Structure 1
Amino acid sequence: MTDGKTNAYENEMKDVTWDGFHNWLYCICVVTFDLELGQALESVFPRHVSLSKQETSNICYLAFPDSNSGCMGDTTFIIRLRNSQGRKSLKFEHINYNSKCPTPLQIDGSYYWGYVYFRQVKDITLPRGYFQKSVVILSLLPFNNLFSKICSYIAPEYFENGEVSLEAVCYNIERWPLPVPGSTLNLPLLGSVFQTYIPLSTNCTANSTLALLSEAGDSNQIQTHVEDLNLFEILQPVLSHIHLLWELVIISEPIVVMASSPTHCSQMVLALIRLMYPLQYCGDYRPYFTIHDSEFKQFTSKVQGPPPVILGVTNPFFAKTLHHWPHTIRLGDDLGQAQKYKLKKTAPTKLIDNSPGIFTAYKPFLQKDKNIIKKLMTGVNSKRPFEVQSALLRRHLLELTQSFMIPLERYIASLMPLQKSISPFKAAPTPLPFNPDSFFATLEAAGPQLTLNNTGIKGDWVGLYKKFFRSPNFKAWFNTRYTELTLKLQALQLEALSTADLKDWVQGRPEVEVVDMVLKIKNKIIKCNEHEIPVSESTKVQLNHRLNDIVTSLPDDLKNILQVS
């Protein structure tokens, strides 16, 4: 940009708050190859956005495929990197959004998602003889399908028309409506309109989303799902080992996915974390990872051992660096073709064996369900559409995960103390502690085998649960459920308090005890108003009445101090 253009741009920008833009994206980056610096951040839009030195470095290296992969033409892939601000970046709108949408679409403030469009073409006018540049969309929202398509739409425009096109993109996004679950949204962008639907947590099937987008409108309308992973197409090569992979993912085992293309490895990593839906995968995962990443040493350390993370890599150097990792999926170049990857149980061969396959010495706790694999392979032979195959596979994995979790859901519900233990004049009771042995005692009468009798899946469920209990997936699920129980008990205690006769209770009580009760009720009302404790509006009204009941019974000097505002 010339100085004149820059000044005009800055004058135009000074009245823009960019709140609307940041509801969707953090920024758009352009990364180029500099002969002296290597990958370098050329520009950021909107221009007020700042990135930390570490974020800038990670984005620059993640924005280009590794040099050995030789990706010519245009390449798209997805990245995930740490957000230096961490969870502090989550606003109230984000928390409200998370409470309404399905787990795969929830925001984790600790990470940014990146949607990369990389172009490498011969250009004899440039010193290296190649044009190499990437456009990267950064967002907290995991809208993998929508943002990948948007990046593929705006990047060619940028390559053709320069920075003015990305400035226009930012203006357009600034005016988009809020990303509200349960809404069909029209998103104008460079003369077209992207129409999408963000599902609610109770309505998240692809079919229901498709129905809501089926009213085709103008020719410039682009209908797209926010997230639409073709699970079957991606997992087809490893289909016969899908139950083994489901176990590895649900117990948060470290897995490395090696491919020649960042497109393939990022797709496979995203497919793996979807295997355990609707349970949320809570280990770390990087759809595409490079040796230059700031966490490279941490992930490759042989002293501490591999952390619970799934990495997608393309650099052959990782075959040597991660040879101590227990599970490797090596992808061929023909991802999505009908083939069977072999299971290779001698992990050291990873160093010399470059053929596609799954390298692991892991012995599954459960038998595989041969019926579903046979049904899906029959579908391959009969050329059944991938969308139908994906739906069959998703349903099977959903039933498998739900069957695994239902006994745990039932058991944790049993940790709720009896109603009679709740008193309006005492602190709310806490849930009973989790006892693995007590849980195992319930499995014979209410275990997963009862809901999976017809599928042929049998095995050592107790052994699998024991592994699961040591994983971040269990810890996150348990902490969430335990917190929910705790808040439910607090709500029940407040409901009891809201209907108690405090005028009678206050008679003969020491002043200090009465004042303590007033302060406690005030504090509880504040927490209710901040949505920390789930109570009805009528309960909040009643609590204020009870507060007034106590205050009116106090001497005048205390009334002035404790008067309800």
Structure 2
Amino acid sequence: LSRPLTRKKREGGGRKIKTRSWPSKTAATNAEVPVPWSRFSAWLECVCVVTFDLELGQAIELVYPQDVKLTEKEKTSICYLSFPDSYSGCLGDTQLSFRLRQSVGRSSSWFGHEDAYNRDAPVTLQKEHAHFHGYVYFRQVKDASVKRGYFQKSLVVVSRLPFVNLFHSLLQVIAPEYFEKHEPCLETVCNEIDQWPAPVPGQTLNLPVMGVVMQVRILWMEKLFRTNIILIHLTALIDLHVIRCFQSVLIHVQMLWELMLLGEPVVVMAPSPTVSSETVLALVSAIAPLRYCGDYRPYFTIHDSEFKEYTTRTQAPPNVILGVTNPFFIKTFQCWPHIIRLGDLKMSGDLPKQVKVKKLAKLKTLDTKTGIYTTYKTFLHKDKAFIKRLLKGIQKKRPSEVQSAILRRHLLEQTESFILPLERYLESLMPLQRSMSPWKTPPQIRSFSQDEFMKTLEQAGQQLTLKGDWTGLYRRFFHSPNFDGWYRLRHREMTQKVECLHLEAICATDLLTWTKDKSEVEIVDLILKLREKLMRARKHQLPVKEELLVRLEQSIQTIISSLPEDLQTLLHRQ
């Protein structure tokens, strides 16, 4: 797969700089050879190197593979999102994450892997169709040989997968080597990635790279390190350092959880892109296993193509979480309802100093103090005993991994206790299995009624452990993008379940006996309907056992065999 490097002119205006690209994903020497880079594409969209050019500013120096279909708009966004802005003052090595909206009309390069993976993966870890995730390793060091006096370059991994732990760990292995040995090292790495097995939920995968084996299992577990084997259990977006992200806002965890649950517009103003991206991803993961269905940008700059869309004052702010570092945004986002202003962590004795909730009117100057600027009042009361437990853990120097596990478990249980009454109500909307008849259209799922659901809350008291206005919280939740996304997903799953039950009812029936006193027209109509049912089951990949589908196919063939030969011939041709 190795070929000599080629030089390519940078498209667009300004000075032409060297852009190196490697072989195409789609070129194959003959029809029998597998498509190159198909395994690579199961994990990554591409790898980019972004450098600083004196005349052009940030510019893409290298893209791998050569024919990756990034638009000019996407390339420009990657350039700006791959460098900390000038206010951050990041010297040395910095890691950050970004999320980028893909251009309209472009298609995925993941071939056939996509449906199989998303069908089995947890919703919080599924491949994205409309966004890219970027994982950045940025290096800025003094260099007298460079005109500006600094070496500035970013190695960027672009993927549709939200595997923050994996890709940042990958960059920690390959980026230092790349900055020292340059293109040949990166070419070797990408060839190694092209040998990786496709991501499969529930399976342990060994991913070798540069003499290290990254062992991955896509589950809700911890991240551990062992000698030359890095064991990474992928969780919903961010895992190990969630306690670090929330250290200064622990007393407000309940408020932050509610803001995420309701999909409220939030701006996180942080001192660095690392803090910005980690905090936004920690917030998004706070409501797992519920999928956050609003937009979120771990790192957002004034050069982003959506900047005008998100900063217009002619309409209400959209359902998005933005992570920013430029103080300019303080003035730009004064109309937003919830702003979290973070600074360097300060200690009060042996405890991290907790930021205060402040009025939005006080958010005026560039030197605005740390705090949560909002008028939001929580529906539920704080769990003071839990907060005290975490703070005591900090005092006793409890390991951050343990603290993070305690916090994640608390947030998980709170989300599950919120979703459980909704799940139970949905179950009551399903038609009874005994109402399934092979001779009738499957019965309909009853419509979701908010008022009817509210009446069921009286029986859900044992699950709703925190005190507060649960009814008010649910009513607000019903107007959020998270409810819409959750209900659409669950309704689709319920519809598939009804189809499966109907299919089982058909397979449990003696269809041949039914045809004995039926006309040929009725029998042909039955065969066509059964074939359509079988095709839909396989096309939609319904959760039914393969032997059930085989049995249905055999029943169809048995019925066809009972018909006159000319009709059999006609049906076999279809």
TM-score, length of structure 2 as denominator length: 0.89
1:162 matched to which residue of 2? 182
1:433 to 1:120, Cα distance in 2 relative to 1, 3 A: same
**Structure 1 residue 225 displacement after superposition:** 4.2
**Structure 1 residue 233 displacement after superposition:** 1.6
2:173 matched to which residue of 1? 153
Counterpart mapping for 1:488-503 below 5 A: 488-503=497-512
Which stretch of structure 1 is more off in the superposition, 301-310 or 531-540?
531-540
Which stretch of structure 1 is more off in the superposition, 74-83 or 126-135?
126-135
**Structure 1 residue 382 displacement after superposition:** 1.4
1:223 to 1:541, Cα distance in 2 relative to 1, 3 A: closer
Which stretch of structure 1 is more off in the superposition, 136-145 or 86-95?
86-95
Write out per-residue CA displacement over residues 245-270 of structure 1, whole angstroms, 9 at most, x where no aligned residue. 10000010011100120000100001
| Structure 2: 5+ residue stretches without partners | 8-20, 30-34
Q: Is 1:112 the counterpart of 2:137 in the alignment?
A: no
Which stretch of structure 1 is more off in the superposition, 495-504 or 4-13?
4-13
**Structure 1 residue 115 displacement after superposition:** 0.9
2:32 matched to which residue of 1? none
Counterpart mapping for 1:61-76 below 5 A: 61-76=80-95
Aligned equivalents of 1:493, 1:144: Cα separation in 2: 41
1:516 aligned residue (516, 525, 548) = 525
2:132, 2:160 within 8 Å by CA — same for their partners in 1?
yes
1:540 matched to which residue of 2? 549
**Structure 1 residue 50 displacement after superposition:** 3.4
2:39, 2:194 within 8 Å by CA — same for their partners in 1?
yes
2:96 matched to which residue of 1? 77
Aligned equivalents of 1:226, 1:482: Cα separation in 2: 27
Aligned equivalents of 2:22, 2:484: Cα separation in 1: 49
Query: 1:23 is aligned with what amino acid?
Result: A
Q: Is 1:428 the counterpart of 2:439 in the alignment?
A: no
Query: 2:179 is aligned with what amino acid?
Result: F
The residue matched to 1:69 in structure 2 has which SS? coil
Give the number of the structure whose residues are more often helix, by fraction. Answer: 1
2:398 aligned residue (381, 384, 388) = 384
1:48 matched to which residue of 2? 67
TM-score, length of structure 1 as denominator length: 0.90
Tell me the matched-pair count: 545
RMSD of the alignment, in Å?
A: 2.5
1:93 matched to which residue of 2? 113
Query: 1:194 is aligned with what amino acid?
Result: V
Query: 2:67 is aligned with what amino acid?
Result: H
1:365 matched to which residue of 2? 379
1:17 to 1:259, Cα distance in 2 relative to 1, 3 A: same
Counterpart mapping for 1:74-473 below 5 A: 74-84=93-103, 88-89=108-109, 91-190=111-210, 192-200=211-219, 204-206=220-222, 210=224, 216=226, 220-227=228-235, 228-334=239-345, 338-344=352-358, 346-352=359-365, 354-446=368-460, 449-453=461-465, 457-473=466-482
Write out per-residue CA displacement over residues 91-143 of structure 1, whole angstroms, 9 at most, x where no aligned residue. 43233223333333221122211111112222233222222211101112222
Aligned equivalents of 1:323, 1:238: Cα separation in 2: 21
1:196, 1:226 within 8 Å by CA — same for their partners in 2?
no
1:86, 1:111 within 8 Å by CA — same for their partners in 2?
no
The residue matched to 2:136 in structure 1 has which SS? strand
2:17 matched to which residue of 1? none
1:152 to 1:533, Cα distance in 2 relative to 1, 3 A: closer
Write out per-residue CA displacement over residues 278-312 of structure 1, whole angstroms, 9 at most, x where no aligned residue. 11111111100111111111111222321111110
**Structure 1 residue 187 displacement after superposition:** 2.4
2:429, 2:448 within 8 Å by CA — same for their partners in 1?
yes
Aligned equivalents of 2:438, 2:52: Cα separation in 1: 67
Query: 2:319 is aligned with what amino acid?
Result: P
The residue matched to 2:43 in structure 1 has which SS? coil
Aligned equivalents of 2:357, 2:168: Cα separation in 1: 32
Q: Percent of pairs identical after alignment? A: 51
Aligned equivalents of 2:4, 2:108: Cα separation in 1: 37
Query: 1:107 is aligned with what amino acid?
Result: K
Aligned equivalents of 2:440, 2:179: Cα separation in 1: 67
1:229 to 1:560, Cα distance in 2 relative to 1, 3 A: same
Aligned equivalents of 2:167, 2:4: Cα separation in 1: 33
1:21, 1:176 within 8 Å by CA — same for their partners in 2?
yes
Query: 1:78 is aligned with what amino acid?
Result: S
1:90, 1:109 within 8 Å by CA — same for their partners in 2?
no
